[in-house]
Amino acid sequence: MALYTPLSPEQLSQVAGRYGLAHLDKAVAEPKGSVNTNYHLWANGERFFLRLNEGKTDAEVSFEARVLRYLEEARFPAVRLVVSQDGASWVEAAGRQAMLFAFAPGEELRREQVDEASCRRMGEQFGRLHDLASGFEGERRNPYARERVAGWVAELEPDGDGDPEVAAVLPVLRDELERSAGLPGAPRGLVHGDLFLDNVHWIAGRVSAVLDWEMCCVDAFAYDLGVAVNAWCYDQRFRPELCRALLEGYRSKRKLDDDTRAALYPYARYTALRYTASRIHAFHRAELGSDRLAWKDWRRYRDRLAALRDMGEAGFRQLTGA
């Protein structure tokens, strides 16, 4: 999320009107994140979240809408997509697909609040989602597959774009990119693809809403779990009790099959590579100011990747108990 395409008050009112919101009381831009343009809207006595999809095809946006409809019918706690007055999943605004979401109650967890209980709850949600995948009919290739990551790394050649810290990590990124060409085959299905702390709302210790499905796709379940281990189970180091709680929660809702278990370590390394490269691309090389883009430190994922490389597969199995 970011503010790439500012909308005027008139444009925002027009978009709100397409969704049947006749009285737009307030609109506040949300610069947090890096991918899309977002606004919080207050209208007709309710609160909503408006996303302008940046650089998305209609097919990609339609896939996300289809996923959200499927999950709503399955009573999975995904954020609710609001349809326009004519029943469409999005409307056009400034040449982009504008999607409106119901406000999701609850609070995000801060890093210091993440504990075994919350990781177990998150594991349950991953298990439920992956179990529901068998009933979902649709296909979207991972938009952040290896070719895109390779493009980001190539942009940093030959000297880290002039940054000594980026230059120092380039040999590691090249090595991991080469290794990722041989990611193991593993069971596939619907995955969220980006389930970080700020994409989950909680009420009284329970997950109230899972947000931000724009990266959902069909990929290895191990990809989703690799993202989760990196996102939820690391503060200044990987914490084995959090890793094990997450996988324990997963197993309570879905069997962790042998092929997915075997793929966890390589996918954890790949997702650490993916986020190191994407954060360098989105934040280190960003052209937007801090008032329109909330900066994230790419070195946090560099450190995760280094830890995974150092521990090796045997160390990872010991860490996770998988």
Q: Where are the alpha helices (DSSP H) in 38-113?
A: 58-73
Q: Check residue 215 and give its pLDDT.
A: 95
Q: Is residue 2 part of a domain?
A: no
pLDDT in tens, the chain (322 residues): 456 788 999 999 999 999 999 889 999 998 665 678 999 999 988 999 999 999 899 999 999 999 999 999 999 999 999 999 999 999 999 999 999 999 999 999 999 999 999 999 999 999 999 999 999 999 999 999 999 999 999 999 999 888 899 999 999 999 999 999 999 999 999 999 999 999 999 999 999 999 999 999 999 999 999 999 999 999 999 999 999 999 999 999 999 999 999 999 999 999 999 999 999 987 665 555 545 545 578 999 999 999 999 999 999 999 999 8
Count of the separate structural domains present in the chain? 2
End-of-domain residue from the set 85, 102, 119: 102
Considering only CA atoms, which of 232, 268, 255, 225 is closest in space to residue 117? 232
Residues 92 and 137 in one domain: no
Q: Which residues pair with 42 in a beta bridge?
A: 26, 47
Residues 85 and 128 in one domain: no
Residues 60 and 202 in one domain: no
Range of the domain at 194: 111-320
End-of-domain residue from the set 102, 119, 140: 102
**CATH code at position 54:** 3.30.200.20
Q: Which residues pair with 107 in a beta bridge?
A: 202
Residues 82 and 206 in one domain: no
Residues 170 and 281 in one domain: yes
Q: Is residue 4 part of a domain?
A: no
Q: What is the DSSP letter of 45?
A: T
End-of-domain residue from the set 102, 133, 162: 102
Q: What is the DSSP letter of 49?
A: E
Neighbours of 142 (CB within 10 A): 18
